[in-house]
Structure 1
Amino acid sequence: MSAIKSLFTPIQVGSIILKNRIGMSALTRNRAPETYPTDLMKEYYVQRADAGLIITEGTLITRQGTEWPFAPGIWDDKHVAGWKNIVDRVHAAGGKIYTQLWHVGRTSHPDAAEQKLAGTPVYAPSAISARGGKFRTIPGQPGYVTPTAIEDPQFIIEQFKRAAVNAKKAEFDGVQLHGANGYLVSQFLDSGSNKRTDKWGGSIENRSRFGLEVLKALTEVYPRDVAIKLSPCGGYNDMGMPLQETLDTFSYFISEADKLSLSFIELVRYSAKFDVEYDGVQRATKHDVLESYRPFVKNTKLFLNADVTPEEGEALVSAGKVDGVTFGFNFITHPDLVKRVQNGKPFDNAPDFAHLQTNKDSGDWATGYTDYPTATY
């Protein structure tokens, strides 16, 4: 491994200084019983506090029947207390941590336990079902259903803002809006899932309105410490538009988001593992995400995600093409990832695929979660 120096240059992101430019991207791990953070989750995050910035797993702003049982939430005081327990220990270990705010929209299911507790329909911009889906805890493992079109999304914008208020109470360093992977912000942006004819749909400007209004609401709570994650190539969760429409939509959205004094924008480039096939056709709109949208990020920091190697990240940061990179899967299997990069050690822990997620029959949640070994130094 060649010398890695630029990735270890500190950088100011929003109101905080990161000790390095290696971020831990959001990774759903399903270890929050009844949606509440635990001491086991604290151990997991503290193990990874060497990251310049940890972005937590997607954290639900309200009860939703997701495909991910035991995903954490941040809508009540018990959530705040659980997360503060984690944040305080990450800070004590010298780390910085954002929470990723998440609404899954049409990728929830009315028969999931949390959705039943919510007492609300499965909401989306339009009554259009995504293809696919696999709800493992529901009998028959059903797929996605046709959602209920949101009459006026203002109440969800307020839910995002209340979640940010709770994140502030838990003393997170900032929040990241989940605008990627076919969830609610993506569903508003994409012309395939958004067929509205009011101010929230139709034109690029209208389809962008929801995500931009959420960002504005979040910056009322965290004036300098709001980020967004975007995956322009689509694919995952039946998302994607024709190439020119994709380029036009995300160029506009990123240009407008860049005016809001965000702390950073995280762009997810094409990755085959996030692509899906329907009727023999790959769903994603393949294009060079960094090349296409870098010119529109002028006022904030830019982080790149998806299959970035340390050597590539070093070259990109050194050349000024990005300000930092985020690692996902390798952070699951290597709690000492940052130290490995710094010392030229390989990412050689074998993934424990059987225990990546949990299910209703899981017992030992530490296995495949907090038991990966560190390297010898």
Structure 2
Amino acid sequence: MPTLFDPITLGAIEAPNRIIMAPLTRARATRNAVPTPIMADYYAQRASAGLIISEATGISRIGLGWPYAPGLWNDDQVQGWKPVTSAVHGAGGRIVAQLWHMGRLVHPSVGEGQPVSSSAITAPDHAHTYEGNQPYVKPRPLDLSEIPAVVADYARAARNAIAAGFDGVQIHAANGYLIDQFLRDGVNRRSDAYGGSIENRIRLLGEVTRAVAQAIGADRTGVRISPNGEVQGVDDSDPEPLFAAVGAQLAEIGIAFLEAREPPADGSFGRSTRAPIAPVIRQAFGGPFILNSDYDAGRAQATLDSGLADAISFGRSFIANPDLPARLRAGVPLAKPDAATFYSQGSQGYVDYPAAA
């Protein structure tokens, strides 16, 4: 069986190891969602990952509701990303852009107008905004006539990602954001072609993925899902057949890789509420399969040994350990990240974590 340190082919990307950097929102862009120079330093420091999946990156103004998060819908943003991808490649790394539409989790003070979703159901808790935490706003359901434009926004962002120097993209279909709001029946109450049956609820993901694959190639297109457990108010009553259908659809499209965030029952960021669904998804998908959430080196290698996954993505471990692959190989204790600086705008807690001696 492969080790974490063996190479893997992910579509058009030849990754030198199976330690993937998971997407991590860090809020270091401008208010106009333009990447800043410090982001090039941050990502280049972590270029020893087999593959870097960028922080979630907005495909449109209406779809981006996180303060100081980056975008990929205009040329200023493309130009801002170019030094980042160049720095990663210069350090020997590979990087894909995660494409993000937050749906009902966009607050109008950050996004543009009333948020949209599959259905008119307000998200729980509070939105993070420039003016502090504010209650979420009730979304309006996307009209059938509007959906082609959303699909086109994903395709445009994918083309922009390639123009910015990314090696590919990952479509964010997880964690309670727009596509997940269509996938799972806890939020999707539609009665049209995008609601009700599993076939209908996976339709938007299929349309977006096909459009992105057509724009930049299926071999440069990945997808992220979160099949198990409630995330930001989104869950499903019967996830196994749903995500088996998702896996089969994505296999048919021929994407480069599929990543599933499936935390353990005692996870530190979210908890699974059912037995693992990953085995069902892996069987249905058949292509390169990446698992994420709360992995340490031992559990990660055991998962590869079991055949359940081909690679493991690490999130918060990469924040405080820019040289994570080397640390895992050497068995060096991992540094702990400072949660207070996760979303701050400065260098502290961002580019000042040292490599192991």
The two structures share one fold, judged by TM-score above 0.5: yes
In the superposition, the TM-score normalised over structure 2's length comes to 0.94
Q: Does the CA-based 8 Å contact 1:32-1:72 persist in structure 2? A: yes
CA RMSD of aligned residues (A): 1.8
Alignment match of 2:226 (pick from 231, 247, 261): 231
1:108 and 1:203 map into 2 onto residues whose CA distance is: 26
Q: 1:339 to 1:5 in 2, by over 3 A?
A: farther
SS in 1 for 2:56: strand
Confirm whether residue 297 of structure 1 aligns to residue 292 of structure 2. no
How far residue 232 of structure 1 moved from its aligned partner, in angstroms, is: 0.6
2:262 and 2:317 map into 1 onto residues whose CA distance is: 16
In the superposition, the TM-score normalised over structure 1's length comes to 0.89
Confirm whether residue 150 of structure 1 aligns to residue 126 of structure 2. no
Confirm whether residue 108 of structure 1 aligns to residue 103 of structure 2. no
Alignment match of 2:116 (pick from 123, 126, 130): 123
Instruction: Tell me the alpha carbon deviations over residues 215-235 of structure 1, each in whole angstroms, 9 at most, x when there is no partner.
Output: 000101222111101101132
How far residue 254 of structure 1 moved from its aligned partner, in angstroms, is: 1.3
How far residue 5 of structure 1 moved from its aligned partner, in angstroms, is: 6.9
Confirm whether residue 206 of structure 1 aligns to residue 200 of structure 2. yes
SS in 2 for 1:134: strand
Q: Does the CA-based 8 Å contact 1:128-1:147 persist in structure 2? A: yes
Confirm whether residue 180 of structure 1 aligns to residue 174 of structure 2. yes
1:285 and 1:350 map into 2 onto residues whose CA distance is: 27
1:143 and 1:167 map into 2 onto residues whose CA distance is: 32
1:123 and 1:136 map into 2 onto residues whose CA distance is: 17
**Structure-2 residue corresponding to 1:286:** 274
1:270 and 1:313 map into 2 onto residues whose CA distance is: 13
Residue identity matched to 1:315: A
158-167 or 147-156: bigger deviation: 147-156
Q: 1:58 to 1:151 in 2, by over 3 A?
A: same
SS in 2 for 1:33: coil
**Structure-1 residue corresponding to 2:89:** 91
How far residue 6 of structure 1 moved from its aligned partner, in angstroms, is: 1.2
Residue identity matched to 1:248: P
Count the aligned residue pairs: 351
**Structure-2 residue corresponding to 1:79:** 77
Confirm whether residue 255 of structure 1 aligns to residue 243 of structure 2. no
How far residue 13 of structure 1 moved from its aligned partner, in angstroms, is: 0.9
Runs of 4+ in 1 over 4 A off after TM superposition: none
Confirm whether residue 215 of structure 1 aligns to residue 212 of structure 2. no
**Structure-2 residue corresponding to 1:310:** 297
2:70 and 2:163 map into 1 onto residues whose CA distance is: 16
Q: Does the CA-based 8 Å contact 1:49-1:93 persist in structure 2? A: yes
Map residues 314-353 of structure 1 onto 2, 5 A cutoff: 314-347=301-334, 349-353=335-339
1:42 and 1:54 map into 2 onto residues whose CA distance is: 13
1:344 and 1:5 map into 2 onto residues whose CA distance is: 18
Q: Does the CA-based 8 Å contact 2:317-2:336 persist in structure 1? A: no
Confirm whether residue 367 of structure 1 aligns to residue 348 of structure 2. yes
Q: Does the CA-based 8 Å contact 1:267-1:289 persist in structure 2? A: no
1:353 and 1:200 map into 2 onto residues whose CA distance is: 38
**Structure-2 residue corresponding to 1:70:** 68
Residue identity matched to 2:256: S
Confirm whether residue 354 of structure 1 aligns to residue 335 of structure 2. no
Q: Percent identity?
A: 38
2:135 and 2:225 map into 1 onto residues whose CA distance is: 24
Gaps of 5+ in 1: 277-283
Gaps of 5+ in 2: none
Instruction: Tell me the alpha carbon deviations over residues 41-98 of structure 1, each in whole angstroms, 9 at most, x when there is no partner.
Output: 0000000000000000000001147563100000011111111111111111110000
1:291 and 1:16 map into 2 onto residues whose CA distance is: 24
2:39 and 2:341 map into 1 onto residues whose CA distance is: 15
1:25 and 1:322 map into 2 onto residues whose CA distance is: 15
Residue identity matched to 1:290: A
Alignment match of 1:30 (pick from 27, 32, 39): 27
